[in-house]
């Protein structure tokens, strides 16, 4: 805890630049949490390596891209600790200790593990490392003795495991670690061009760094109302991905009503509607894109922020490890 604010920890696996789904699903929320919590935001490079170990050469580059998007969206290094997981060696050290406190069966039963195995079929991830990634995640959180962790619903299982590990540790060695609370916040779910959840692995994303032309190129591929074949066919905005984007990114309520009217009244075609929607999205991401450009022009500044973040993170992590080692009588 610092400045009387409770510790909060969260992170992202760097897989390249961030998209609108990342912004609305997590990042905007993080920006708001910075006033209430002492936030630790981690670039989870070890987690990336677990699926990319055969081709790790782009992990660091992706990390830089994610850092650019974080800073551009309003993650403030004056308020929060921003760091690379690989710069804090205390995290894998704690993982090693935690590995003794979880059974293989418990890890195999975590639903997201089975899901990931299905989704990443093309990668050889039936490894010891990948099975253990929730243990690494527990160390990511507990190394800062975080009291709060903002998570999506699908991460609930991992946080439950983190609490179990903390409880087991405290029972065996004496009370040392907190049991972090899940911070459920309302976030918008955003569809990609194909109506599935917006996700890099589906290739259906609009990126925060895109300009209007790039956004338009993506938006033009979006699924609309399949029953609307000709411009003269009335549309059903409620089944259309583009209308969902209008509602999320257009600030003028009257304009959203206009879209509904021109769609149901067959007054505009989908191509025109998509182009107008692209302009609205471009306006929404404009401040982020502009700020990102400033950081892009000064990569050394971004590096300084990460080095300073890692320094702060290591200081806290070393304190936790001292307490942990003392508890297990290996201090």
Task: Determine the 3-state secondary structure of 174 from DSSP.
Answer: coil
Q: Using alpha carbons, select from 68, 72, 94 the residue that is nearest to residue 9.
A: 94
Q: Is 192 in the site for ligand SF4 (CB under 6 A)?
A: no
> For residues 75-114, which are near ligand SF4 according to CB under 6 A?
none
**Closest to ligand SF4 by CB, 18 or 263:** 263
Q: Using alpha carbons, select from 154, 144, 164, 155 the residue that is nearest to residue 102.
A: 164
Least separation, in Å, of the C-beta of 208 and ligand SF4? 22
Compute the C-alpha angle 207/210/211, nearest 5°: 150
**Closest to ligand SF4 by CB, 134 or 237:** 237
Q: Is 208 in the site for ligand SF4 (CB under 6 A)?
A: no
**Closest to ligand SF4 by CB, 273 or 306:** 273
Least separation, in Å, of the C-beta of 227 and ligand SF4? 9
Least separation, in Å, of the C-beta of 105 and ligand SF4? 48
CA distances from 21 to 7, 17, 67, 188, 199 (A): 25, 12, 16, 8, 7
What are the beta bridge partners of residue 83? 42
Q: Is 250 in the site for ligand SF4 (CB under 6 A)?
A: no
CB of 274 closer than 8 Å to CB of 216 = yes
Cα dihedral sign, 164-167-173-177? positive
Q: Is 244 in the site for ligand SF4 (CB under 6 A)?
A: no
Q: Is 64 in the site for ligand SF4 (CB under 6 A)?
A: no
Q: Per-residue b/e over 1-32, b at no fewer than 16 CB within 10 Å?
A: eeeebbbbbbbbbbbebbbbbbbbbbbbbbbe
Least separation, in Å, of the C-beta of 254 and ligand SF4? 16
Q: Is 314 in the site for ligand SF4 (CB under 6 A)?
A: no
Stretch that binds ligand SF4, among 159-167, 205-213, 239-247, 312-320 (CB under 6 A): 239-247
| Cα pseudo-dihedral 93, 98, 11, 111, rounded to 10 | 140
Per-residue mark of binding to ligand SF4, 270-309 (x: CB under 6 A) = x--xx-----------------------------------
Q: Is 45 in the site for ligand SF4 (CB under 6 A)?
A: no
Least separation, in Å, of the C-beta of 139 and ligand SF4? 46
**How many of the other CB atoms lie within 10 Å of CB of 295?**
18
Binder among 243, 245, 249, 295 for ligand SF4 (CB under 6 A): 243
Per-residue mark of binding to ligand SF4, 211-230 (x: CB under 6 A) = -------------xx--x--
Distance CA 313, CA 316 (A): 5
Q: What does the binding site for ligand SF4 look like in residue numbers (CB under 6 A)?
A: 224-225, 228, 235, 237, 240, 242-243, 259, 263, 268, 270, 273-274
């Amino acid at each position: 805890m610092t400045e009387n604010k409770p510790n909060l920890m969260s992170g992202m696996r760097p897989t390249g630049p961030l998209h609108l789904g990342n912004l609305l699903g997590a990042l905007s929320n993080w920006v708001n949490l910075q006033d209430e919590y002492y936030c630790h935001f981690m670039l989870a490079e070890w987690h990336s390596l677990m699926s990319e170990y055969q081709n790790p050469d782009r992990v660091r580059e992706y990390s830089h891209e994610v850092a650019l998007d974080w800073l551009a969206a309003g993650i403030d290094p004056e308020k929060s600790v921003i760091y690379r997981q690989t710069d804090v060696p205390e995290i894998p050290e704690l993982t090693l200790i935690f590995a003794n406190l979880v059974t293989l069966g418990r890890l195999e039963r975590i639903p997201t593990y089975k899901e990931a195995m299905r989704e990443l079929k093309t990668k050889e991830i039936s490894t010891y490392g990948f099975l253990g990634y929730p243990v690494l995640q527990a160390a990511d959180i507990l190394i800062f003795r975080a009291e709060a962790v903002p998570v999506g619903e699908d991460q609930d299982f991992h946080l439950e495991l983190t609490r179990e590990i903390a409880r087991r540790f405290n029972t065996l060695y004496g009370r040392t670690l907190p049991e972090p609370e899940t911070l459920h916040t309302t976030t918008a779910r955003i569809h990609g061009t194909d109506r599935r959840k917006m996700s890099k692995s589906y290739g259906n994303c609009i990126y925060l760094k895109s300009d209007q032309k790039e956004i338009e190129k993506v938006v033009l591929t979006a699924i609309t109302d399949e029953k609307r074949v000709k411009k003269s066919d009335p549309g059903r905005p409620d089944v259309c991905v583009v209308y969902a984007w209008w509602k999320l990114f257009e600030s003028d309520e009257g304009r959203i009503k206009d879209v509904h009217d021109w769609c149901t009244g067959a007054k505009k075609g989908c191509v025109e509607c998509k182009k107008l929607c692209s302009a609205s999205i471009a306006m929404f991401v404009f401040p982020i894109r502009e700020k990102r450009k400033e950081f892009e022009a000064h990569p050394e500044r971004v590096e300084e922020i990460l080095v300073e973040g890692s320094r702060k993170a290591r200081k806290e992590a070393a304190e936790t490890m001292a307490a942990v080692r003392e508890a297990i009588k290996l201090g």
